[in-house]
Amino acid sequence: MSPRPPIVVLGAHRSGTSAVARVLEQLGVFVGARLDPNHEARFFLRLDEWLLAQSGARWDQPTGISALIADERQSALAAEYLALCLRTPRAIGYLGLRRWLATPRIDRLATPWGFKDPRATFTLPIWLRLFPELRVVHVHRHGVDVAQSLCKRHRDHFARSADAFARNRGLLGILRKRAGFGDSPRLSTLLGGFTLWEEYVREARRQVAVAGTRAVEIRYEELAAQPDLVVRDLARACELTPDDASIARAAASIAPDRASAHRNDPELRAFAAEVEERVRALRDVHASTIASEPRIRAGTA
């Protein structure tokens, strides 16, 4: 069997990418032996973090990586390093020991495989140097719901960090504090989370346009409303052949109550009204660059 290119799930953090990665896994796609709580393969997550760091970027300030991508020599060397990681024993981190013993190179996998990482929205041009035929799955969700989820996660993290700091103040006068307070200061406001969503969606749309017919876009709201139909469409778009039982299990894993949650909160409804034009602008970009289908949208050639 010939090697298969990967399926890369990308999109803004808190957009439903984890749910889609779980769906793909249940449809028969290998997404990694060692996953973090967000269903991200730690192997590819660390490589994407490394790529972002080369330009002083990180997941919440990602646009700086454009400098690395624009530099032909640096981006070529970065791609060479990634290729090396895929074919050395480090690949065990993604494949697991048993799969690595059978196929010791990730780029030689002949069965459906891929990874999910929102950071890949910005690192994808480097990965395309290794896998020109890779398939893109862009998951997007209403920007206000994403902003609210990002803010909540930051505030929860901040509260835990502040409490830990109060309890360990004496030790921290001696030991180095490894992390800051909260996920990201940018996410302390809804507007900060919303602008991050805008950056991710704009970049993801560019990547979808580049990938053309090898890309599909999924609205989380449509996935939550019609999981069985969207899951079937996704399987078809990714050239997967799951049985009906696998499709049913994958569809049942989707939580419908998370879609359009901002409509049930007066503060979020008010914020949604403030940014309505900005949401519509990105929706218009979607309409002009993506071929319309009822549930899942494929890129254009």
Position 145 in a domain: yes
Report strand pairing: 114-116 vs 296-298.
unpaired
Contacts of 39 (CB under 8 A, 6+ apart): 18, 21, 22, 25, 31, 116
Give the strands of the sheet with 7-10, arranged side by side.
114-116, 7-10, 135-140, 215-219, 296-298
* Site of tokens 């780029």: 107
Residue 48 identity: D
Residue 238 identity: C
Give the pLDDT confidence of 93-113 residue by residue, as tens digits. Answer: 999 999 999 999 999 999 999
Q: What is the model's pLDDT at position 1?
A: 73
Position 177 in a domain: yes
Position 1 in a domain: no
Contacts of 197 (CB under 8 A, 6+ apart): 12, 15, 143, 146, 147, 150
CA 168 to centroid of chain Cα atoms: 34
CATH number of domain containing 128:
3.40.50.300
Q: What is the model's pLDDT at position 288?
A: 41
Q: What is the model's pLDDT at position 291?
A: 36
Q: Which whole-number Å values give the CA distances from 7 to 10, 30, 66, in the listed order? A: 10, 10, 23
Taking alpha carbons only, the member of 173, 53, 27 closest to residue 112 is: 27
Q: Which domain holds residue 45?
A: 7-298
Give the pLDDT confidence of 169-219 residue by residue, as tens digits. Answer: 777 667 676 667 777 999 999 999 999 999 999 999 999 999 999 999 999
Q: What is the model's pLDDT at position 42?
A: 98
Position 2 in a domain: no
Is residue 293 within 8 A of residue 232, CB to CB? The reply is no
Give the pLDDT confidence of 253-262 residue by residue, as tens digits. Answer: 998 776 777 8
Q: Which whole-number Å values give the CA distances from 80 to 114, 128, 131, 146, in the listed order? A: 19, 12, 12, 34
Contacts of 137 (CB under 8 A, 6+ apart): 7, 8, 9, 10, 20, 24, 215, 216, 217, 218, 234, 238
Express the helix, strand and coil content of the chain in percent, nearest 5 each: 60, 10, 30
Contacts of 257 (CB under 8 A, 6+ apart): none
- Domains identified in the chain, total number: 1
Burial state string for 185-206 with b = 16 or more CB within 10 A and e = fewer than 16: ebbbebebbbbbbbbbbebbbb
Position 231 in a domain: yes
CA 108 to centroid of chain Cα atoms: 23
* C-alpha–C-alpha distance, residues 147 and 16, integer Å: 13
Give the pLDDT confidence of 229-272 residue by residue, as tens digits. Answer: 999 999 999 999 999 999 999 999 998 776 777 887 889 999 99
Q: What percent of the chain has pLDDT over 70?
A: 91
* C-alpha–C-alpha distance, residues 8 and 118, integer Å: 9
Position 126 in a domain: yes
Position 260 in a domain: yes
* C-alpha–C-alpha distance, residues 88 and 94, integer Å: 11
